[in-house]
Amino acid sequence: MVGIIISLFFGLLCYLAASDKQDDIFTWMMALSGLSTIFTWGSICFAHIRYRRALSVHGRSTNELAFTACFGVWGSWFGVIFNILILVAQFWTALFPLGESPSAEGFFSSYLGFVVIIVCYICYMVYELVQKKFIFFLRAKDIDIDTGKRCPDVELLKQEVQEEKDRLASKPWWYRTYRFWC
């Protein structure tokens, strides 16, 4: 079934490419994919901030984590703020395009991803209300930070992380610099 769906999807794309409206279709697909990427990365950064806050509230340390972001929470704050600024700038240019008169079609062809995200979010909230599991916002103390961990043995994980740090410390400076950035 998955193979048939994937084949149908690519067939639809080929049909759209053969259309005489392919420029319009490309514009609308870019409107969907461009802003959704910004929302995705903004959500990832925000989730990282919330997770690190939950760790702190639960009295846990980042030493328990197998991987930590090299810029920590500050990098995520930068990412959230930067993504918000991009969304604001995109909204402004969609509302008042340079060198063109404003139009509803121009706005939605530039900012369609936002509308789709909001519609999906509202549908999800309605679904959660129907299921009686609606929680608008979890406080940091209520966030579950243990479910789904790969290694439930925290002491073993701490030992493995320390061994990795010791191994990295024995390497030359250029390798440590490379590993810091990559």
Gap between the Cα atoms of 129 and 50, Å rounded: 23
How many other CB atoms are there within 10 angstroms of residue 110's CB atom? 20
Of 21-25, 48-52, 120-124, 169-173, least confident by mean pLDDT is 21-25
Residue 151: the pLDDT is 63
What pLDDT does 81 receive? 96
Please state, in angstroms and rounded to a whole number, the distance separating the CA atoms of residues 6 and 18.
Answer: 19
CB contact burial 45-79 (16+ within 10 A = b; e otherwise): beebbebbebbeeeeeeeebbeeeeeeebeebeeb
Question: How confident is the model at residue 76, as a pLDDT?
Answer: 94
**Residue 22 pLDDT more than 80?**
no
The whole-number average pLDDT for the span 50-72 is 84
Question: Which residue, 65, 54, 62, is CA-closest to 157?
Answer: 65
Task: Report the candidate in 92, 112, 91 with the shortest Cα–Cα distance to residue 28.
Answer: 112
Q: Is the pTM of this model over 0.75?
A: no
